Structures are given as structure tokens and as C-alpha cells.
Structure 1
Amino acid sequence: MRFVYFARVREAVGMDCEERDVPVTVHTVQDCLDWLRQCDGRYAAAFAEPARLRYALDQQMVTADTPLDGYGELAIFPPVTGG
């Protein structure tokens, strides 16, 4: 799966995107966040405030309980406001 990070998430993780093989035990966006947190402390810091994160699967906004099945890209970013 391709992971894309924006804004403060990108800064905390130290990259704007990466490709990873997701374990078969990871089924939802939340499972994915939990798995990444266990992989490296940078992810734990980046995802420390999940209420302040938003997600998109293949550029469609989703919630943390959305299944990953059939998607190829997960974007993780803070809320964005316009002006």
C-alpha cells in the first residue's frame, strides 16, 4: 500500500510518502495506524492525537473504521481549513 503524509504528519514521519506491505491482520484504517505506531517511534509521534487526523483512501475521505480492502493509497493529514 502507498502511504502519503501531509503537513505536521509528514514532518513527524520525515517523508512525504512510502510503500509498505500491510500485514494480513490489518483490516481498517485504525488497524493500519496501530500497526505503523508499532513499527517506529516516528509514527507514534505523528499519530499521537488521532482525533486531530483525517484520512483518505484513494483520494476519498474516510473514517478510521473504514476497511482497507481494494484500496491502494492511504493519505493521513491534519484537518485543513480554507480562507
Structure 2
Amino acid sequence: MEPSPPLSAGRAEVRIVAASPEAARQVAQALRRCFASTEQRSYPAGAEGGTRLHFSVDTTHVAKPERSWLAASQSSGQDRTQMDEV
């Protein structure tokens, strides 16, 4: 295992160990909704199976907010009714 580079202020190294790759990805995705992060690296988690994910988060920069399905579905003022619409 290679040594980690020194962390700057506001950075945190995250290690997730889960029984399945999908469970680990779900936890990582939840963290990415809150903080800007680096690309994840995955590894096997030992003889009993499982997955380890490693990545860094930057707590000084929040992740860009996702638009809710309602906000994404609302029309802009530029949308116009088409001639063939009732």
C-alpha cells in the first residue's frame, strides 16, 4: 500500500467497506451529493468478499445541487405552445 499524500485543510480521505459493490457505490453517491470529491478507486475487501472504495472529499466546496424532478420538468418562459397543441 503506497503512502497517501498529505491532506490540505478541508480535505478528507474516505474509505468505505461494504458487502457488495452496489452498497459501497450508494454510500459514495450520498457523500458526493454533499461534497466535491475525487474519482473513486475500488478494491476487493478481503477473503470474505465485499468491496472497498477510496476517494477524497473537499469539505470546503459543496457539490452542485441536483435539480429535483419537479424543477427539471417545469417549462421555462421561452417554451411556447406549438401550433398542433391544443
TM-score (norm 2): 0.29
Select the structure that is richer in strand. 2
TM-score (norm 1): 0.29
> Which structure exhibits the higher relative contact order, with contacts defined as CA atoms closer than 8 Å and separated by 6 or more residues?
1
